[in-house]
Structure 1
Amino acid sequence: MTPVTTETTDRVLAPLEDALPGLEALYVDLHRHPELAFTETRTAAELARRLTEDGFEVHTEVGRTGVAGVLRNGEGPTVLLRADIDALPVEEQTGLSYASTARGIDENGNDVPLMHACGHDMHATWLSGAAHLLAAGREGWSGTLLVVFQPAEEGAGGALAMVHDGLFERASRPDVVFGQHIAPAPAGWVLTRPGVIMAATETLRITLHGRGGHGSRPETTVDPAVMAASVVLKLQTVVSRETAATDPAVVTVGSLHVGTAANVIADDAVLEVNTRAFDDGVLQRLHTAIERIVNAEAAGAGAPKPPTIEVVGAYPVTHNDEAASEELTEVFREHFGTEATLPAPQVTGSEDFSEFGRAAGVPSVFWLVGGFDPQQVITAMTEGRLESDVPSNHSPRFAPVLHPTLRTGVETLVVAALSRFTHPGIGELR
Structure 2
Amino acid sequence: MSDSDHSLPASVLAPLDARLADLVALYEDLHRHPELGFQETRTAAEAARRLTACGYEVTTGIGGTGVTGVLRNGPGPVVLLRADMDALPVGEQTGVPYASTVEGRMHACGHDVHVTCLLGAADLLAAGREQWSGTLIALFQPAEEVGNGARAMLDDGLYSKELVPVPDVVLAQHVAPFGAGLIAYCPGACMAAADSLEITFHGSGGHGSRPETTVDPIVMAASFVQRVQSVVAREVAPKDQAVVTVGSFHAGDSANVIPDRAVVRLSVRSFDETVRAGVLAAIDRIARAEAAASGAERAPETELLDSFPVTVNDSVTLRKVNETFTGLFGEQRLFAYDPASGSEDAGLLATAAEAPLYYWWLGGWDPEEFRTALAAGRLAQDIPSNHSPRFAPVVRPTLTMGVQALTAAALSRLDPARD
Q: Distance in 2 between matches of 1:317 and 1:230?
A: 30
Q: Which amino acid aligns with 1:205?
A: E
- The answer to which of 295-304 and 375-384 deviates more is 375-384
8 Å CA contact 1:4, 1:422 repeated in 2: no
Equivalent residue, structure 2, for 1:273: 266
Matched, 1:369 2:369: no
Equivalent residue, structure 2, for 1:140: 131
Matched, 1:51 2:41: no
8 Å CA contact 1:298, 1:307 repeated in 2: yes
How far did residue 383 of structure 1 move? 2.5
Structure 1 48/3 Cα, relative in aligned 2: closer, same or farther at 3 Å?
farther
Q: Distance in 2 between matches of 1:5 and 1:140?
A: 13
Determine which of 247, 265, 273 is the counterpart of 2:240: 247
Equivalent residue, structure 1, for 2:121: 130
Q: Distance in 2 between matches of 1:297 and 1:74?
A: 62
How far did residue 145 of structure 1 move? 0.6
- The answer to which of 77-86 and 325-334 deviates more is 325-334
Q: Which runs of 5+ in 2 are unaligned?
A: none
8 Å CA contact 1:204, 1:273 repeated in 2: yes
Q: Distance in 2 between matches of 1:364 and 1:8?
A: 21
Equivalent residue, structure 1, for 2:390: 397
Q: Distance in 1 between matches of 2:405 and 2:193?
A: 25
Equivalent residue, structure 2, for 1:116: 107
Q: Distance in 1 between matches of 2:99 and 2:254?
A: 37
Q: Distance in 2 between matches of 1:270 and 1:323?
A: 45
Matched, 1:294 2:294: no
Structure 1 153/395 Cα, relative in aligned 2: closer, same or farther at 3 Å?
same
| 1:326-381 alpha-carbon deviations (Å, 9 max, x no partner) | 11111111111011011122110010111011000111111111100122222322
- SS of alignment partner, residue 244 of structure 1: coil
Q: Distance in 1 between matches of 2:8 and 2:141?
A: 29
- SS of alignment partner, residue 335 of structure 1: helix
Q: Distance in 2 between matches of 1:382 and 1:285?
A: 40
How far did residue 192 of structure 1 move? 1.5
8 Å CA contact 2:173, 2:360 repeated in 1: yes
Q: Distance in 1 between matches of 2:92 and 2:418?
A: 51
Equivalent residue, structure 1, for 2:304: 311
Equivalent residue, structure 2, for 1:384: 377
8 Å CA contact 1:3, 1:420 repeated in 2: no
Q: Distance in 1 between matches of 2:5 and 2:56?
A: 24
| 1:358-415 alpha-carbon deviations (Å, 9 max, x no partner) | 0001111111111001222223223322111111111111111111000111111000
Superposition CA RMSD, Å: 1.6
Give the TM-score taking structure 1 as reference length: 0.93
Q: Which amino acid aligns with 1:63?
A: G
- SS of alignment partner, residue 34 of structure 1: coil
Mapping of 1:65-214 within 5 angstroms? 65-103=65-103, 113-168=104-159, 169-214=162-207
Equivalent residue, structure 2, for 1:40: 40
- SS of alignment partner, residue 272 of structure 1: strand
8 Å CA contact 2:169, 2:357 repeated in 1: yes
Structure 1 61/174 Cα, relative in aligned 2: closer, same or farther at 3 Å?
same
Q: Give the % identical residues.
A: 56
How far did residue 244 of structure 1 move? 2.1
Give the TM-score taking structure 2 as reference length: 0.96
Q: Distance in 1 between matches of 2:6 and 2:357?
A: 23
8 Å CA contact 1:8, 1:140 repeated in 2: no
| 1:101-122 alpha-carbon deviations (Å, 9 max, x no partner) | 414xxxxxxxxx2111111111
Structure 1 6/300 Cα, relative in aligned 2: closer, same or farther at 3 Å?
closer
Moved over 6 A (4+): 1-7
Give the number of aligned pairs: 417
Q: Distance in 2 between matches of 1:291 and 1:353?
A: 28
Structure 1 20/388 Cα, relative in aligned 2: closer, same or farther at 3 Å?
same
| 1:217-238 alpha-carbon deviations (Å, 9 max, x no partner) | 3222222222222222222221
How far did residue 156 of structure 1 move? 3.5
Q: Which amino acid aligns with 1:304?
A: E
- The answer to which of 31-40 and 220-229 deviates more is 220-229
Q: Which amino acid aligns with 2:43?
A: T
- SS of alignment partner, residue 400 of structure 1: coil
- SS of alignment partner, residue 89 of structure 1: coil
